[in-house]
Amino acid sequence: MHQDSLFGAAPAAPSDIHRLFFALLPDEAARERMANAAADIHARHNGGGRLIGAHRYHLTLQFLGDAHEFQAERAHAAQAAAADVVADAFELRLDRAGSFRNRSIPWWLGCEQTPVGLQTLFDRLGVALAKRGVRVEGGHSLTPHVTIVRDAAAALHPPIAVDAIDWWVADFALIHSQLGTRNAYTVLGQWSLAE
């Protein structure tokens, strides 16, 4: 397990929101392909909003929630749960782009079919978190997506086909996202999947 990688830096402020979630982090080649696809989709569909920086691309597995301060005890329990998970590495194919119908109209890259390996990892991580008493927020179903645009002017609906981006998933991570003065992601741990 690798720990404590920091993406951005600034002192914490009392008004910051601390978010914990498990995610898949793409390698640099996949990030570059996603960024190229995002720029192309954004330009062709005239969606307004702002493109997400490629360094922030991730696919959320389990969302543990927001708090006004970092919850170290909860993070430690989540790390212990992740260490209990046994699952195989898998290939994830992103081949669709669409949007959610909420206030910020986020556009995303997703998959027409959820890979069995992704569903298995999601399910096993959910069970491990429940056994460790770590509550999950945001539902108990998986909608695989990587957000590429925020605050779009219009929805990208219905979803459109995009050139496939194949991404070999060999690990998963626990992320602490600090929203506010800092706007940084910290990787609290990363766990390998069986090859």
pTM: 0.88
Question: What is the residue range of 134's domain?
Answer: 5-9+16-192
The pLDDT value recorded for residue 67 is 87
- Where on the phi/psi map is residue 105: left (φ > 0), alpha (ψ -120 to 50), or beta? left
Q: What is the pLDDT of residues 5-46, one digit of tens each?
A: 443 344 444 568 888 999 999 999 999 999 999 999 999 998
Confidence of residue 139 (pLDDT cuts 50, 70, 90): low
pLDDT at 63: 94
Neighbours of 141 (CB within 10 A): 7
> Which CATH number do you get for residue 34?
3.90.1140.10
Number of domains in the chain: 1
